[in-house]
Each structure stands twice: as structure tokens, then as C-alpha cells.
Amino acid sequence: MLTSARRRKALSLSELAEHCGSSVGKLKHIFGGKMIPSEELLISLATSLDLPLAELLDLHRELYAALRAGTSRIG
């Protein structure tokens, strides 16, 4: 979802990181399902990618559950 939304907006990972006040490395971990973003970063991502915050919160819960279960990927 995040990668396709970023591509729809024609943003590089570096540009998105700049929009969100984050680092490329952190976004790579989040997009790869290896890191749970903060609520602040979720809001920034939703705003930057024109996504409903509710969708990102659902993704956040899914990622948290996957990481707790010991899997490295969501979906």
C-alpha cells in the first residue's frame, strides 16, 4: 500500500522522507515491514501520500501483530 501510494504521487523514497521529516533508512524499514512507525510519522505519511489515516492505522496494527508473531513481513 505504501509503495504504490508513493509511486502514484511520483515521489522517490528520498523525497517522501524529506516531506515526512524522516530518513530514507527508517522508511525502508517501515516499507519493508521491519519497523513500526510512530503515530507522528503515520500522520505525516498519510498527509504526504494523500491516504486516509484510518488505512495507515489498520496497516500499523497489522504490522505490529506480524512483528509480535515473529514474521518479518505483513500481508
Give residue limits of the domains in the chain: 2-68
Question: Phi and psi of 36, rounded to 5°?
Answer: -95, 125
| C-alpha–C-alpha distance, residues 70 and 18, integer Å | 31
Domain 2-68 grouped into CATH 1.10.260.40 = yes
Which residue type is seen at 67? L
**Residue 22: other Cβ atoms inside 10 A:** 19
Neighbours of 17 (CB within 10 A): 19
pTM above 0.85, yes or no: no
Give me the phi and psi of 33, to 5 degrees please: 75, 25
Position 75 scores a pLDDT of 41
Helix or strand holding residue 21 (H, E): none
Between 1-5, 30-34, 51-55, 59-63, the lowest mean confidence (pLDDT) is in: 59-63
